[in-house]
Structure 1
Amino acid sequence: MTPAAVERGERVAVLMSTGLIERIFSARDRSRLRAAGAVRLPAVDAIGLPDLTAIGPETEVVVTGWDSPALAVEILDHAPKLRLIAHTGGSIRAIVPAEVYDRGVAVTTVSAVLADAVAEFTAMAMIAGLRRATLLHERMRRGDDWESLAAEAPGRLLRAQTVGLVGASRVGRAVIGLLAGFGCRVLVSDPFLTPDDASQLGVELVTFHNLLTLSDVVSLHAPVLPETRRMIGAAELARMRDGALLINTARAALLDASAVLNAVRSGRLSAVLDVFDQEPLPPDSPWRHLENAMVTPHIAALTVETLRAQGEAVVDEIERFRAGESLVGEISREMYDRIA
């Protein structure tokens, strides 16, 4: 932060690239953000990336996004007045160190806003995967014979499938709500979900291994923790039914990528993947060339409406913070250890 900026007493530091700021914050919400405190907006370096020097001795609120750098403890040492970190995305652990809680800093995210978009994408992925929509589309584009394509084995009806959800997170619960309209059997594996909660959600609570064995569709909605990292590898894939569909809109680290690639390449399983260990996915990645895999560039949460809702929700939280009200999306220290 420049000396002039410090003198202005800027209290809200926005650590997001110019492009992301423009996508998330409407003109109205930018005005609301400025009204909440003197703002350094946008806070970017010479090449347009988030600039940590925006955080200074007068900073009370830090706003972060998907492209924000990690908030090193050394940086936070320069912000003794910091009291709130408001994240415009869902996952915070790669950006916010746990030490902020020892400093009395509150942390909030808009993960609830993102949940509906990811859940809708997941439902689409289930239907597209079961009906082989992308494969048929590509083969139509390349001119394959109409009658031959129509004569192949038909797709499958979502209503008739057993769907297994790994994790009753916000997204997982939103998916459950959408699946209720289809009438399919829904299994859930989550160590934090009680039988009573499962009953209220209208799902069957099962062990992880039973979920893999019984499900026609397996969709991941778990955080990356030591016990969930690479939770699906060769042994787990072997438990899955022949022809099962695997969907991952959560985190790439939940999968052993090479094991999943081998299973999909063999034709025994199909997959819809939105997240990868290496992003962007290289042009020569084998995932780009598998007929029974639908791949997307980490966009499950991205809709025009969702992006604007993220900005609005973050400004709402900052206004609540200023008014001394409870935060809607607050992440407590206890929650921090078991979220994405």
Structure 2
Amino acid sequence: MLRIRTYNNISIKGLDRFGREQYEVASDINRPDAILLRSYRLHDDPIPDSVQAIARAGAGVNNIPVDACTDKGIVVFNTPGANANAVKELVLAGLLLSSRGILPGIAYAESLTATDHTELNRQLEAEKKRFAGREIAGQTLGVVGLGAIGSLVANMALGLGMKVIGYDPALSVDAAWRLSSQVQKAENLQSLLARSDFISLHVPALPETQHLIGTETLSSVREGAVILNFAREEIVDTDAMLTALQAGRIKSYVSDFPSALLRGRPEVIAMPHLGASTAESEQNCAVMAAEQLKDFLENGNIRNAVNFPATSMERISGNRLTLSNHNVPKVLGHVLSILANRNINVIDMVNRSRNNVAYNILDVDNEIDAPLLAEIAEVEHVIRVRAV
């Protein structure tokens, strides 16, 4: 019986992926094999040694101590793309809200106290010109980051009649296939910023992306542009953004991450982190997280891990052994020698590495017993070994 501990409310559609004949799923399990969560902060909680994997039903993993998990051989999964459509639709709302006087117009209409319908219409018609805006068709949208969300945003904007420029120095092959050929490629970030009327940010929060939009980059932005941040708060330097807004260089800043420094400014549209807050998105994330956990626990396969390499192997015959180790020479050779000394033949295997860690799947023709696992675990630089 495999045991899954849950934090937060996980969609039942995700929990239903764990068959009750093989899994125990609850929020009060003491020694779980895996953890499934959304936004619960794990940094302050001790993670039991029994935990082999943690799955985040969402994209960001800043609520999980990833480095500490890597040191223990705990695979940390996220669900990139599962909430992409929800974020894409909110970006569309941000584009429209920042280009038309929708919010101040609604506020004005709600402020009127006239009880006579004719008088109400007269006041509305007399003042509506104050809330006139511009259409987004024909405008240029710059998309920074062309992953699962960014590529959807770019394709959506093309469908709305916008011109689209994209920039992503780490564009993957899969992302390139998703992207329309009509998206123009910017050679660098400064080029995109200078050519765009609207700029939508879709990069992960990494040390190299912190304050990606700051004093220097804001100086390259076309005057009167709109910046939309539905990625992560730390990507934009709030102090630099305030200076640009005060100078009138930036027409509007639309963010899913409200800031006390920018609160109340008329050029700022702040939303309470609504990006993935749809029933469909929560279901998609939960299902994707559950399926990844199942495949790892039952087969040792890794898909969408943030700290271990993507590794999978079809399961045909034999018994399966998985092994994580520091990415240094001779570890795998030592393990293979142990198997050979026990007359255990390797039927199939795969080895992948990512930065300082490596992960291996081996199918063997003999039973994998506890003494064998213990002997492999004693090999220098082996982090974790298990029979699947």
Matched, 1:251 2:224: no
The aligned residue for residue 84 of structure 2 is 115
1:143 positional shift? 3.2
Greater C-alpha Rg: 2
Matched, 1:179 2:172: no
The aligned residue for residue 300 of structure 1 is 275
- Measure, in 2, the Cα distance between the counterparts of 1:301 and 1:194: 23
Q: 1:187 to 1:225 in 2, by over 3 A?
A: same
What letter corresponds to residue 273 of structure 2 in structure 1?
A: H
Q: 1:30 to 1:232 in 2, by over 3 A?
A: closer
Q: Is this contact kept in 2: 1:112–1:329, CA < 8 A?
A: no
- Measure, in 2, the Cα distance between the counterparts of 1:303 and 1:247: 20
Deviation track 1:122-145 (CA, whole Å, cap 9, x = no partner) reads 122112211232222223222394
The aligned residue for residue 5 of structure 2 is 13
- Measure, in 2, the Cα distance between the counterparts of 1:132 and 1:98: 46
- Measure, in 2, the Cα distance between the counterparts of 1:204 and 1:42: 48
Deviation track 1:242-280 (CA, whole Å, cap 9, x = no partner) reads 22111001111111112212333454421111114xxxx
Q: Is this contact kept in 1: 2:104–2:131, CA < 8 A?
A: no
The aligned residue for residue 289 of structure 1 is 264
Q: Is this contact kept in 2: 1:71–1:95, CA < 8 A?
A: no
**Secondary structure at 2:281's aligned position in 1?**
helix
Q: 1:158 to 1:147 in 2, by over 3 A?
A: same
Selected match of 1:82 from 51, 55, 58: 51
Q: Is this contact kept in 1: 2:36–2:54, CA < 8 A?
A: yes
What letter corresponds to residue 150 of structure 1 in structure 2?
A: K
**Secondary structure at 1:180's aligned position in 2?**
helix
* Identity, % of aligned positions: 23
The aligned residue for residue 261 of structure 1 is 242
Q: Is this contact kept in 1: 2:3–2:33, CA < 8 A?
A: yes
**Secondary structure at 2:274's aligned position in 1?**
coil
1:31 positional shift? 4.8
The aligned residue for residue 42 of structure 1 is 27
RMSD after superposition: 3.0
- Measure, in 2, the Cα distance between the counterparts of 1:178 and 1:200: 10
More strand by share: 2
Q: Is this contact kept in 1: 2:83–2:276, CA < 8 A?
A: yes
The aligned residue for residue 284 of structure 2 is 309
**Secondary structure at 1:11's aligned position in 2?**
strand
Q: 1:200 to 1:151 in 2, by over 3 A?
A: closer
Deviates more, 1:256-265 or 1:245-254: 256-265
The aligned residue for residue 205 of structure 2 is 224
**Secondary structure at 2:89's aligned position in 1?**
helix
The aligned residue for residue 335 of structure 2 is none
Q: 1:199 to 1:83 in 2, by over 3 A?
A: closer
Structure 2: give runs of 5+ residues left out of the alignment.
114-122, 311-353, 356-388
Structure 1: give runs of 5+ residues left out of the alignment.
1-8, 44-53
Selected match of 2:148 from 162, 170, 175: 170
Matched, 1:25 2:25: no
Q: 1:332 to 1:166 in 2, by over 3 A?
A: same
1:325 positional shift? 7.0
Deviation track 1:139-165 (CA, whole Å, cap 9, x = no partner) reads 322239423433247322222111111
- Measure, in 1, the Cα distance between the counterparts of 2:291 and 2:178: 33
- Measure, in 2, the Cα distance between the counterparts of 1:273 and 1:156: 20
Q: Is this contact kept in 1: 2:151–2:179, CA < 8 A?
A: no
Higher relative CO (Cα under 8 Å, sequence separation at least 6) belongs to: 1
- Measure, in 2, the Cα distance between the counterparts of 1:143 and 1:162: 36
Deviation track 1:53-100 (CA, whole Å, cap 9, x = no partner) reads x553xx21111221232277xx34x41x43221111211144142343
- Measure, in 2, the Cα distance between the counterparts of 1:205 and 1:96: 35
Deviates more, 1:303-312 or 1:162-171: 303-312
The aligned residue for residue 132 of structure 2 is 154
- Measure, in 1, the Cα distance between the counterparts of 2:206 and 2:60: 13
1:201 positional shift? 3.2
**Secondary structure at 1:287's aligned position in 2?**
coil
What letter corresponds to residue 273 of structure 1 in structure 2?
A: S
- TM-score, normalization by structure 2: 0.68
Q: 1:287 to 1:147 in 2, by over 3 A?
A: farther
- Measure, in 2, the Cα distance between the counterparts of 1:273 and 1:200: 24
Selected match of 2:180 from 201, 207, 217: 201
What letter corresponds to residue 158 of structure 2 in structure 1?
A: A
- Measure, in 1, the Cα distance between the counterparts of 2:247 and 2:109: 23
The aligned residue for residue 240 of structure 1 is 221
- Measure, in 2, the Cα distance between the counterparts of 1:265 and 1:167: 27
Q: Is this contact kept in 1: 2:199–2:227, CA < 8 A?
A: yes
What number of residue pairs does the alignment pair up?
Answer: 298
**Secondary structure at 2:83's aligned position in 1?**
helix
What letter corresponds to residue 104 of structure 2 in structure 1?
A: L
1:42 positional shift? 2.4
Q: Is this contact kept in 2: 1:136–1:149, CA < 8 A?
A: no
- TM-score, normalization by structure 1: 0.76
**Secondary structure at 1:159's aligned position in 2?**
coil
